[in-house]
Amino acid sequence: MKIWTRATLAALLMGAAAPAMAEECIAPANPGGGWDFTCRQIGRIMTELGITPNLVQVTNLAGAGGGVAFTQIVADRNEDAEVFVAASSATTTRLAQNAFAGASADQVRWVGTIGGDPGVIVVAKDSPFQNLNDLVAAVKADPTKVTFAGGSAVGGFDHLKVLMTMDKAGFEDARAVKYIGLDGGADAITQTVGGFTQAMTGDLSEVTGFIKSGDVRAVAVLSDARVPGFDDVPTAKEQGVDIVAMNWRGIYVPKGISDDAYAKWVDTLKKVGESEQWKTVMAENGLAPYTVLGADFETFVTENIAQIQEISKEIGLLQ
């Protein structure tokens, strides 16, 4: 006959009562931005599809344009198979420019992307700028009087969108363009709605609600063609500025997890991307289908970083 001690019984009871470990998604910015959007939508769909029995915990960990979250994963959670991190072109931009204090893309494992988020430039509803050319003309006339806000740090992808747009419009002094980098698209849009900046550059998914509510007007979408559901927003190309800036939306996980755990994350993201729920999310938020997974995505990230480094050198952000 086995004799149970009080301590053993207490431990067993505590173990039986403890809930299963819940997956966690880290959004490397404040609530309301694109990374937060990625975490909350993917997490919700994972639960709805029964991939995870629990609600996915979303942790907002802002700072350094995603650098705080990246460093925490590498330094403190390298073998944690339950955590995944929202990523985008902003992530690879910062890595390309060595903005994460020497961190490199090979310190994590890149799972995939399941959607592309077209870049957009918006102004407040009462702004005097009626279109992209009005905004460009104002910068050319006096760049000190036009400030852009964005949800990535200075030198990040939102900043690059402005610089590339102005470069394509014939304004070559990239350093004269005024830009304020904030922790997420929600903070950036607030600056423009409040009149503290003259324009905001971000991703369509970040500003959809503000466009639909009428708080801002989109003067250009940075895509090849107009986006379904936003048919009244002209492309920059239509207005004579040959710029396309697509922000991929995906995730990465710690490098130290097993190959089996990594494969599980790839399969999970694939299922989310193929779901009717995700198709609805894309349609409602201006996302375009854009799926790259597993090894193909890791190759994509390497090539993406090389491309961003080349662009950054062209506009004077890197030597």
What value, to the nearest 5°, has the Cα angle with vertex 249 and ends 245 and 251? 140
Q: Is residue 265 part of a domain?
A: yes
Domain finish residue from 239, 265, 298: 239
pLDDT values of the chain reduced to their tens digit, one per residue, 319 residues: 444 444 443 433 333 333 445 799 999 999 988 899 999 999 999 999 999 999 999 999 999 989 999 999 999 999 999 999 999 998 999 999 998 988 999 999 999 999 998 999 999 999 999 999 999 999 999 999 999 999 988 888 899 999 999 999 999 898 899 999 998 888 999 999 999 999 999 989 889 999 999 999 999 999 888 888 899 999 999 999 999 898 899 999 999 999 999 999 999 999 999 999 999 999 888 888 889 999 999 999 999 999 889 888 877 788 7
Domain extent for 68? 9-117+246-314
Angle formed by the axes of helices 157-168 and 294-314, nearest 10°? 50
CATH number at residue 202: 3.40.190.10
How far apart CA 154 and CA 169 sit, in angstroms, is 21
Place of tokens 């994509």: 300
Q: Is residue 159 part of a domain?
A: yes
- Paired sense of beta strands 108-124 and 199-203, if any: antiparallel
Q: Which residues contact 71 (CB under 8 A, 6 or more apart)?
A: 64, 100, 101, 103
pTM: 0.76
Task: Give yes or no: residues 127 and 42 share one domain.
Answer: no
How far apart CA 266 and CA 253 sit, in angstroms, is 10
Which 8-state DSSP code applies to residue 102?
Answer: T
Task: Give yes or no: residues 188 and 91 share one domain.
Answer: no
Place of tokens 């390497």: 302
Task: Give yes or no: residues 224 and 273 share one domain.
Answer: no
How far apart CA 220 and CA 181 sit, in angstroms, is 20
Distance of CA 92 to the CA centre of its chain: 10
Q: Is residue 149 part of a domain?
A: yes
Cβ–Cβ under 8 Å, residues 25 and 43: yes
